């Protein structure tokens, strides 16, 4: 459901309004128990609890009558499509429903939050109808204005689906003997329709660090300066062939002091197959993507292979799995890259993250990545200085890379989670690092 149509539907359909009990008072156990499963930026749980006081918000799925799973993905226009899956449990088992709220790119956080709240209210109505809380609700009807109806049906788009975005960011930190600056900027143009997606993006990232080294006894008074800069221009065109197949062309140009590349050009065609229909992408995806192309490199310094520039054919295979279900979520990808004119120059990387509900109150969180690296063509024959190594100015030679973390969380106590009390719980403050 698009955002404009949802706005008018909410205005002219069911709006549940509590007639009794302030929002802060926990509801009785006869009222519908709802478990909210949402990790998106726009899920303001405190706001939901204040605005939707006719249900019991519970902390664990096992105590719920309805499990609400919220996922999101960005739209071609720069907004967000938020999908709400209502999953019936216990007496409501088998009663499932899905609603969608789509925001405009110019909507404020409060506007998106309000639209999401209205959609959540609307989705809970069929479940509330079979509980005692239904006797304390009223239904309001507000006919949409004719002008608004006409605006909602207009299809004229002077931009022809093109969306442009400019971003810039900078940060500055300092102490008496050290200073840090980092900045980034990007510009993006994109056009997204059901049949074709086009994206063009240019970006820059820079970092500068200064360290004053002063030792009067040793006669040392100097400043070490570390700088890193990278530039990139990327382009992508993807055609939708059917509910499972996609084909595209991708190209990029980049420059980086970290990897000894004055210029790197890459490009070529790609094809992707999703075992699940793309219409289910917010809940599950299993994709296989294969691409071939050409890579052109111009190096700042002579490499360990005695190259100042080179051209190499490449191919790449990527398998990706993304699943968001009531028991948790999983994301993993396997990426294999190889230079076709020298098969010994290759890399294989595996990434994965899991958030799994083991049983009531206990959740397992795992994140990890591991890579075999045999394709560092850019390594400089000159080598690295100790300062470049310690300050991570340049990429070092390595055969592998890994990153692993694991955690458990266990929550117990009251099953209800209705009360909102923000006193002395947040706001601004000063953090002093010792």
pTM of this structure: 0.70
Nearest C-alpha neighbor of 418 from the set 13, 21, 27: 27
| Dihedral angle sign, alpha carbons of residues 227, 233, 239, 240 | positive
- Range with the largest mean pLDDT of 45-54, 96-105, 315-324, 357-366: 315-324
Say if strands 362-373 and 400-410 run parallel, antiparallel, or are unpaired: antiparallel
Out of 27-36, 103-112, 159-168, 214-223, pick the least confident.
Answer: 27-36
Q: CA distances (Å), 389 to each of 269, 286, 385, 419, 431, in order?
A: 37, 39, 6, 52, 30
Which residue has better confidence, 257 or 312?
312
The Cα angle at residue 429 between residues 423 and 432, in degrees rounded to 5: 135
Mean pLDDT value across the chain = 84
Percent of the chain topping pLDDT 90: 46
How does pLDDT run across 289-308, given as a tens digit for each residue?
Answer: 999 999 999 999 999 999 99
Report the distance separating Cα 348 and Cα 374, nearest Å: 9
382-402 confidence digits (pLDDT tens): 888 888 888 888 889 999 999
Residue 371: what pLDDT? 97
| Pair 356, 327: CB distance under 8 Å | yes
Could you count the other beta carbons within 10 Å of the beta carbon of residue 256? 20
pLDDT exceeds 60 at position 146: no
Higher pLDDT, 373 or 33: 373
d(CA 23, CA 246): 48
> In this model, does residue 152 exceed pLDDT 50?
no
Give the separation between CA 134 and CA 124, rounded to whole angstroms: 11
Residue 14 has pLDDT above 70, yes or no: no
Task: Measure the CA–CA gap between 101 and 365, rounded to whole angstroms.
Answer: 29
């Amino acid at each position: 459901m698009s955002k404009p149509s949802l706005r008018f539907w909410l205005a002219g359909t069911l709006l549940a309004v509590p007639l009794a009990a302030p929002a802060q008072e926990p509801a009785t156990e006869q009222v519908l128990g709802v478990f909210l499963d949402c990790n998106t930026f726009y899920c303001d749980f405190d706001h939901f609890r204040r605005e939707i006081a006719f249900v019991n918000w519970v902390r664990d799925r096992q105590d719920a009558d309805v499990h609400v799973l919220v996922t999101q993905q960005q739209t071609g226009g720069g907004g967000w499509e938020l999908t709400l899956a209502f999953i019936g449990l216990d007496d409501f088992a088998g009663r499932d429903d899905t609603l969608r709220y789509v925001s405009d790119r110019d909507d404020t956080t409060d506007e998106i939050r309000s639209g999401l709240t209205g959609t959540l209210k609307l989705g809970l109505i069929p479940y509330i109808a079979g509980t005692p809380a239904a006797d304390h609700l009223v239904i309001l009807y507000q006919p949409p204005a004719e002008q608004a109806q006409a605006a909602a049906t207009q299809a004229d788009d002077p931009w022809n689906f093109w969306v442009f975005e400019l971003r810039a960011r900078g940060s500055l930190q300092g102490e008496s003997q050290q200073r840090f600056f980092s900045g980034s900027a990007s510009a993006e143009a994109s056009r997204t329709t059901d049949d074709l997606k086009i994206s063009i993006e240019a970006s820059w990232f820079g970092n500068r660090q200064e360290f004053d080294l002063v030792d009067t006894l040793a006669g040392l008074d100097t400043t070490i300066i570390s700088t890193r800069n990278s530039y990139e221009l990327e382009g992508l065109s993807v055609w939708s062939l059917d509910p499972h197949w996609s084909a595209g062309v991708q190209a990029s140009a980049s420059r980086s002091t970290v990897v000894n590349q004055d210029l790197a050009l890459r490009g070529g065609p790609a094809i992707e197959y999703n075992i699940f229909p793309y219409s289910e992408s917010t809940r599950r995806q299993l994709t296989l993507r294969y691409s071939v192309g050409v890579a052109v490199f111009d190096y700042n310094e002579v490499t360990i292979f005695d190259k100042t520039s080179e051209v190499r054919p490449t191919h790449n295979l990527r398998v990706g799995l993304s699943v968001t279900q009531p028991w948790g979520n999983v994301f993993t990808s396997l990426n294999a890259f190889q230079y076709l004119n020298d098969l010994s120059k290759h890399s294989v990387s595996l990434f994965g993250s899991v958030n799994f509900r083991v049983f009531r109150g206990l959740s397992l969180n795992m994140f990890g990545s591991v890579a075999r690296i045999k394709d560092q063509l850019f390594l400089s024959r000159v080598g690295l200085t100790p300062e470049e190594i310690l300050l991570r100015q340049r990429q070092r030679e390595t055969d592998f890379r890994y990153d692993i973390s694991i955690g458990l969380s266990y929550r117990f106590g009251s099953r209800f989670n209705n009360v909102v009390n923000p006193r002395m719980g947040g706001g601004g403050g000063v953090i002093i690092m010792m």
